[in-house]
Amino acid sequence: MDMRQRIGALAGEMLQKAFPEAQGLPEDLAALLEVPPEKSMGDYAFPCFKLSKALRMGPPMIAKKLAESADKPEIARVECVGGYLNFFFNRENFARELLNAIMAAPEKWGASQDGNGKTAVVEYSSINIAKRFHLGHLSTTVIGNSLKRIYDFQGWKTVSINYLGDWGTQFGKMIAAYKRWGDKAQVEAGGVDEMTKLYVRFNDEARENPALEDEGRAWFKKIEDGDEEALSIFRWFKDVTLRDAMKVYDVLGVRFDSYDGESVMAKKTDRVVRELEEKGLLKDSDGARIVDLEPYDMPPYLILKSDGATLYATRDIAAAIYRKETYHFDRSLYIVAYQQDLHFKQLFKVLELMGYDWADQCQHVAFGMVSYEGQAMATRTGHVVLLDELLTRAQERALAIINEKSPGLENKEEVARQVGVGAVVYATLQNNRIKDIDFWWDRALNFDGETGPYVQYTFARCCSVLRKAPEIAAAPDYAALTDDEAQALLRLLSRFPEAVAEACLRNEPSIVTRATTEIAKAYNKYYYEHRILDDDPAATAARLQLTDACRQTIKTGLYLIGLDAPERM
């Protein structure tokens, strides 16, 4: 039961009854509904201002005439306040209908088929080969993972892509370093760290011996030309990197459908250059080839360097075309930090100039920067927090807290993993994605604030209540759920589907994070204010059903943002 749609439909019926001859009225009245800032002002408010022109009447008079047409069992009363018509639910009927709707398919509460028949391509994480996975990769990884889950939950078919940074002269340098000083067993054992040491040594020695640079370029040329030895080593570097990265992805519960990176798209750039040439979009600029974007208040988009080499911009055009032709997407999301805003504006404009009418289906999902306890990440100064180490530390800290608070808890290590990793992910998805994040341990692992552990603990509390509940044969008495605390919780549960739909529309996981957190807070308030298990079986049955609905909705919300839901904490 979507109460927004129900009230929207009711408003439509009231309009037809009060103004049968009205023309030019909005079709989707549900979209106009607002949630009042105070519960004393009702459950939903219908603003009559947008009807004033079509009805040639002042908003207060419209609200008054509509109020005279209200006669539905789900509505206890309506009130006119200025130009607003405020709806108050019939509390008992509201509780009955909502809980029955949730419990009819509890795991699907908030799901929809709005995306049925549509495909979304989601590019995220996009790690670099032969480089460690650090805290700077956290936001793109968990935002992308959450959006994939949200889109799936809304009925979309999703394709998740880890667009690997695996092209460029640096890989020729790495092969040269490996051929000179590398040892296969050491690289296998040391992984990315060992490859990094080789790359650092190459650059250090190249300062004294510049001929090494030519050697690196020669090996990269062999990669470009398809030399079997060069490709074999290159592929092995990728395998070793992904093996290390998979340890992090496994802990985070992240999966990808494709790892096609820049090296794959580099082979498709000839078509891009040819199309740009044929369409008269390429211009010379000091020997390089560009697309002039000055008429659109943007700097030129560099397509070919003066030596004829392509750039990541060229490869991004190739990737966009390839994804459209392969996956036939309706949305293509790029989960990349806001520093790349200009690049994506340029990319989408060039696709538009090339005549691709689907360019507006491509969206840059930007996010802010991450700092660690007040310090910005900076690879040049060496202040880098490696993600696997951060997640390990999170689990260790969570285990220490569990040992202190719940020393007898079974399966403590697994719960510590769920809580520790969840704390990191939640802290990343708690606020609007465009905001910068400053990660602090004390905040992230607080069991009492608006944190991942707090929401997980509320889920575990719901599970505990249901485990302790006796078998009850009586039908629920929904009159037991007409108090303010129960109604506040029910309202939040009723709006959960709206939150998920809005998160999908705006590509904003924090909307689900906040909705889930508010449900947890409301349940805890209800839990402390009311006795759930009492001598009245019918009232107890209703309260247990409310607890079960909360349990399942919180579990769904946690899943959608990438957190596990431990049943005992």
Active site residues: 131, 134, 137
Collapsing DSSP to helix, strand or coil, 292 comes out as coil
User: Which burial class, exposed, middle or buried, applies to 259 when counting CB atoms under 10 A from its CB (0-12, 13-18, 19+)?
Assistant: middle
**What's the per-residue H, E or C state across 368-409?**
CCEEECCEECECCCCECCEHHHHHHHHHHHHHHHHHHHCCCC
User: Which burial class, exposed, middle or buried, applies to 419 when counting CB atoms under 10 A from its CB (0-12, 13-18, 19+)?
Assistant: buried
Token pair recorded at residue 70? 């209200």
**β-bridge mates for residue 44, sequence order:** 87
Collapsing DSSP to helix, strand or coil, 382 comes out as coil
Q: How far is CA 8 from the centre of its chain?
A: 28
**Nearest Cα to Cα of residue 522 among 556, 469, 483, 560:** 483
545 phi and psi angles, rounded to 5 deg:
-65, -40
Please, which residues have CB within 8 angstroms of residue 265's CB and are 6 or more apart in sequence?
A: 315, 316, 318, 319, 322
**Nearest Cα to Cα of residue 61 among 26, 89, 24, 19:** 19
User: Which burial class, exposed, middle or buried, applies to 369 when counting CB atoms under 10 A from its CB (0-12, 13-18, 19+)?
Assistant: middle
Q: Sheet containing 282-285: which strands, arranged edge to edge?
A: 282-285, 288-291, 301-304
Instruction: Evaluate whether 562 touches 252 at the Cβ level (below 8 Å).
Output: yes
